Chain A
């Protein structure tokens, strides 16, 4: 399943560091997939992805693909932003509860109301991806 992709002409204002472990996450996102890790013993998902399970400290994890769908739990519009983000103001960010039972924070695209069903979109900047959520069109 491939997520919708929105191409953006600029570079990310403050790009994430990528480790050998998190590289699969960012590579998958670039291809339109939202993935994270699940503890093999606990069976529980975690986000951000981690090389162990924070719930039971199991050392074995596996990558799983997420639906990218959920509900908007909270949001804000940031007008006073750190210097690096001056070019993106105003910034709408929010918190989404994914259908898989994970809570994530991300950019919000459009102006969905709280508790609206939302879907993940890949924000493909010139230097790499971020992710956001927007209302699912009905």
Chain B
């Protein structure tokens, strides 16, 4: 027997450069950034701290000095717990998993209120050095890393294959970055809020061909806290909330590359997770008012959008260029500005996804508010979308 679960509160830091240089006389400390967000998030929920029964953290990057960060934070916040406390890790899925576990903890009755939270600090680590770590996270260390593959190199190969098979134009793909920036300009926590033109995206220096600087994830830091609770608790607050209507997960049993040739750009795990989530929610993709997709590169947003059934297969880039996935369009995607412009502190990106959906579904999104937003989907992934975790949320006011 499981219980219905709601997102009743949230708070996030500005996304960007929060980490201080190793030799800076004054250091930015993770708990000093995250703890106030916990207090802010609980204030938005209108719940006292004594209600919190569980803490589920996205694991910190290895650059965070404090170990056992979760229990350290429980002490910092003086939070005795009877549900659970843990740090989860699953590459890009990390934040989404933290949310998922918090939801499960409440659904199973182990806690009435659970916090899903985390802080990702990495911006002071040079990209080439950071890549020495991330290159070991994708593919096989002894058979793929040896060639110099990086995580985004696999997405770049998706882009090459996609354009080859479907005839998508380079500029159509690049339009995703322009659209994301337009959205980010309306998001106060976004890392990048200056205007960005299609010409600038196309002329950017290459990072992993064909993708240039503006179509790959920026490096950045960020912290976020979500308040998850039993629906009855949410109702009793009298405040609007986002109800978790469905959840789907799929892993294709492949790590980055399937040795059995398959359609790499179909993102079959996302297809499977989406089908399960829609079934659980009793909805079809056309019922969604918006979607916040885990998409570190322009191509990933296109392919994930197609896999979730938001755009037709092979047409995602063209429809992005035509404005169908923009605010005001048929199905707004990444209203936060997405990984490309809202920012991508990777271990908490999955939490930022739910944060955006909560803001939209409780009509707190200000200038980027999707009118009458009622149903929304959020995704996260790992590898080359070898696994996908998708949640469907519904506005309840």
* A110 contacts partner chain B, Cβ-Cβ < 8 Å: no
Please measure, in the bound complex, the distance between the C-alpha atom of A122 and the C-alpha atom of B205, giving whole angstroms.
Answer: 31
Please measure, in the bound complex, the distance between the C-alpha atom of A59 and the C-alpha atom of B333, giving whole angstroms.
Answer: 47
Interface residues of A (CB under 8 A from B): 12-18, 22, 46-48, 73-86, 88, 91, 93-95, 97, 101-107, 114-115, 130
With known contacts A79-B208, A95-B157, A73–B146 Cβ distance under 8 A: no
Please measure, in the bound complex, the distance between the C-alpha atom of A12 and the C-alpha atom of B143, giving whole angstroms.
Answer: 13
Candidates B129, B157, B258, B262; contact of A94 at CB < 8 Å: B157
Please measure, in the bound complex, the distance between the C-alpha atom of A88 and the C-alpha atom of B161, giving whole angstroms.
Answer: 24
* B32 contacts partner chain A, Cβ-Cβ < 8 Å: no
Interchain CB contact under 8 A, B257 and A105: yes
Which chain A residues border B142 with CB–CB below 8 Å?
Answer: 16-18, 22, 48
Interface of A is mostly: mixed
Which chain B residues border A18 with CB–CB below 8 Å?
Answer: 142
Please measure, in the bound complex, the distance between the C-alpha atom of A14 and the C-alpha atom of B148, giving whole angstroms.
Answer: 8
* B396 contacts partner chain A, Cβ-Cβ < 8 Å: no
Interchain CB contact under 8 A, A73 and B264: yes
Interchain CB contact under 8 A, B147 and A79: no
With known contacts A83-B128, A83-B129, A95-B157, A12–B146 Cβ distance under 8 A: yes
Interchain CB contact under 8 A, A93 and B161: no
As a 0/1 sequence over residues 311 to 325 of chain B, the CB contacts with chain A under 8 angstroms (1 = contact) are 000000000000000
The segment out of B3-11, B131-139, B188-196, B375-383 that lies at the interface is: B131-139
Which chain B residues border A86 with CB–CB below 8 Å?
Answer: 128
Interchain CB contact under 8 A, A114 and B141: no
Candidates A13, A16, A77, A114; contact of B164 at CB < 8 Å: A114
Number of interface residues of B (CB under 8 A): 42
Candidates B131, B146, B164, B206; contact of A81 at CB < 8 Å: B131
Candidates B127, B164, B206, B260; contact of A103 at CB < 8 Å: B260
Interchain CB contact under 8 A, A91 and B148: yes
- Tell me the minimal C-beta distance from A91 to chain B in angstroms: 5
Interchain CB contact under 8 A, B139 and A105: yes
* B160 contacts partner chain A, Cβ-Cβ < 8 Å: yes
With known contacts A81-B128, A81-B148, A81-B150, A95–B264 Cβ distance under 8 A: yes
Interchain CB contact under 8 A, B147 and A103: no
- Given contacts A15-B146, A78-B150, A107-B147, could you give 9 more A-B pairs where the C-beta distance is less than 8 Å? A16-B141, A48-B142, A73-B161, A76-B210, A79-B206, A81-B148, A102-B260, A103-B259, A114-B161
* B287 contacts partner chain A, Cβ-Cβ < 8 Å: no
Please measure, in the bound complex, the distance between the C-alpha atom of A90 and the C-alpha atom of B120, giving whole angstroms.
Answer: 30
Which chain B residues border A114 with CB–CB below 8 Å?
Answer: 160-161, 164
Interchain CB contact under 8 A, B150 and A74: no
* B209 contacts partner chain A, Cβ-Cβ < 8 Å: yes
Which chain A residues border B264 with CB–CB below 8 Å?
Answer: 73-74, 95
**Which residue from chain A places its CB closest to the CB of B144 in the assembled complex?**
A105
Residues 117-132 of B at the A interface (beta carbon under 8 Å) = 126-129, 131-132
Please measure, in the bound complex, the distance between the C-alpha atom of A22 and the C-alpha atom of B264, giving whole angstroms.
Answer: 27
Interchain CB contact under 8 A, A80 and B131: yes
